[in-house]
Structure 1
Amino acid sequence: MFLTTISATDEDSGRNAEIVYQLGPNASFFDLDRKTGVLTASRVFDREEQERFLFTVTARDNGTRALQSQAAVIVTILDENDNTPKFTHNHFQFFVSENLPKYSTVGVITVTDADAGENAVVRLSILNDNENFILDPDSGVIKSNVSFDREQQSSYTFDVRAVDNGSPPCSSAAKVTINVIDVNDNPPIVIYPPSNTSFKLVPLSAIPGSVVAEVFAVDGDTGMNAELKYTIVSGNGRSLFRIDPVTGNITLEEKPTVADTGLHRLVVNISDLGYPKSLHTLVLVFLYVNDTVGNSSYIHDLIRRTMETPLDRNIEFKKPPS
């Protein structure tokens, strides 16, 4: 490929004015016609590998005592748009808290282009997101256009496209996933007992260790925010009952006696292990210690009357009517 013609003059005449040209070192990519000074490329250039070549050319006459001079030659390789934009990751993963305010920054997309000038200017766009996010086409900053709620949607995935300003333009695409991290914003929800007015019969024949009632709750969060702990906080003054902190099963600590007959109101606290602050729920568990239920209306009347008693007060040992 022709590049240019190197030309020199000599004010002598005859052979003393005849000039030959010779390439100096570092010119292995070029050929130079010794007589005409025509400089050509001996191979295809790649600007991304080497953008500039610097070498010398010697012009020498054919005189008996040859004289010569040198000139520096600089060859600059012009850019062609032969590189597509390159994302730093094929799949970007970002993590955000579900309480992050709307229009907050959730991540930054980074992309490069090995070309130069306008061929290296890249603009970004979102391909398929339903306007949940806003992408700055120049900086790659992604901002939320929604209020996150992990319990409603735990992740968002969409594609981004990068297009350079070359002619014709080159483009590429990458995937983006926004993962919503759980925040402890859901208190435990009691599943069982189904209401605060139900009760369980505990016969006097029950043996220590037997399960007399169950408490079960769920939490809409995840991880430690959904791990639950069960505790009896009131109504167990004689320590007759014990609750498993993990399963919520209530068992007898000792065999009940006649002195234990009547209605017992246990206040059970169900708390999650969330950080930095746990959430909790209280549930009432009514246990009627007696051989038989007898008059169920009387028991339900007792339960209604306990609703007027503060939760930190015991209402145990109410005798059934004779």
Structure 2
Amino acid sequence: MAIQPDPPRGTDARGTRRRSKSLPRRAAAGRRSFTSTLKALRSLAESGAQVSVRIDDLDRGGSVLVGDDYLSLPIAGLGVVPLLVEVAARFDEGSLDPLEIVDRSTLEPVHVGGIWQHLKAPALPLVDIAVLAASSGDALAANALLARVGLPAVRARAERLGLTRSALMDRFRDHRGPDDAPHVALGSAREYAQLFAALVNSSAVNPAVSAQVAEWLSRNQDLSLVGSATGLDPFAHDDDQHGLLFINKTGRASGIRTEAGVLAGPRAGVAYALFVCFDDLSVIHRLRAHEAFRVLGVELMEYVY
């Protein structure tokens, strides 16, 4: 695996949000390296893990860190982001009613993650189901959305979003048989970093759809990987008093840890994606993978803040 930092280049991708007072500090951020991240990721790769990483500077344009970002790797629950975009697009165009009620009993039970399975409410409106899928990695909620819009529509939406190496392959299942897709979703770090950049730049479908999906993702409660370095409240971080903007989505399965998102502060803003596929042979193997995400989080905070 080849991982190398690239200096940011180009022009400001988000206009003049911090232009007047931040140029010297942003230029300093552009010279920052990701030495510790590179060391952690190379150590993972040498131990046999597959690693893919991409960091793009949203203000200056161009990549900051790239490593095998073109690879299509299993990404678990991170793959629901295109599904959320499709649902939001249908809400926006009026072809899907946000208050349409879905009865949980119509869905095949799945217990791999989420909280709807533990709630007493047997039915919820689609818009609340979307919040559950985005905020808590709720597999049953994601399956409900997918059953409503259909896998072909999500794949078509992904293609229109430019995701040629990424795809939602199947619904969530407790067990995967020989006739099922081997993974929920595949994705490339490059495309997911670009997708999150499009969400904050209001260019994913249209500004209304981008804002809706970004709002759902801003409620994501999994800040245990990259997000652990932000110091944000996992349960209320969509309006931070210190001026941090953070939206993210993680994916978890046996031997799979993935995350993509946007982190912006006074110095700079970045879109990032890190995918790690490893042999989940012990807690130590798992913690080593988790630590690489946390190291990246620390250096991203140094970059933007």
Higher Cα Rg, which structure: 1
Tell me: higher relative CO, structure 1 or 2? Use CA pairs within 8 A at least 6 residues apart.
2
Q: TM-score, normalised by structure 1?
A: 0.20
Q: TM-score, normalised by structure 2?
A: 0.21
The structure whose residues are more often helix, as a share, is 2
